[in-house]
Amino acid sequence: MAGTYTQLHIQVVFAVAGRACLIPTKHQEQLNQYISGIIANKGQKALAVNGMPDHMHVLLGLRPETALADVVRDIKANASRFINEQRWVAGKFAWQRGYGAFSYSASHLDQVIRYIHNQQAHHANRSFQAEYQELLNRFGIGYDPRYLFDSAAE
């Protein structure tokens, strides 16, 4: 085969350390744009970025030569540094260790993008913990509830 052709769409979900509600609503759009910039600077494509005070959702197009773990590490490290530099929170902001990553076909992208953009309405009736466990269950990802969430930061 003469070339490499891929279609890799990944939704990444990660939480604030301790699942604390530390991301100020008034700064959410600025954080979304900053994270989109991180993704673009890494040569990837941000399809949707949005979150809540205690977590973030990122849908991205991943290039095949790039490790997802590297992209997520860079997003979390740079976004936490940005939040701390902006002094949006008292003390030091940090993300919880780990993340969830879920792959989607092109036929599901519009639905996932709407879901990410409508986080505020979605979470009026459901907690992040319930949402995250539902994603894990829907994708058949096994987990031990004792280790699903912790307060340790990255």
pLDDT digits (tens, 9 = 90+) for 120-134: 888 888 888 889 999
Query: Average pLDDT of 58-87?
Result: 97
The beta strands (E) that lie in the chain are given as 9-15, 45-52, 55-61, 100-104
**Burial letters 21-47, b for 16+ CB under 10 A, else e:** ebbeeeebeebbebbbebbeebebebb
Residue 1 pLDDT: 59
Query: Average pLDDT of 2-8?
Result: 87
Q: In whole angstroms, how large is the CA radius of gyration of the chain? A: 15
The amino acid occupying position 127 is S
Pick the CATH number of 9-147 from 3.30.70.1290, 3.40.80.10, 3.20.20.60, 1.10.3720.10: 3.30.70.1290
Q: Which two tokens stand for residue 46?
A: 């941000």
Residue 133's CB: how many other CB atoms inside 10 A?
17
- Is the pTM above the cut of 0.85? yes
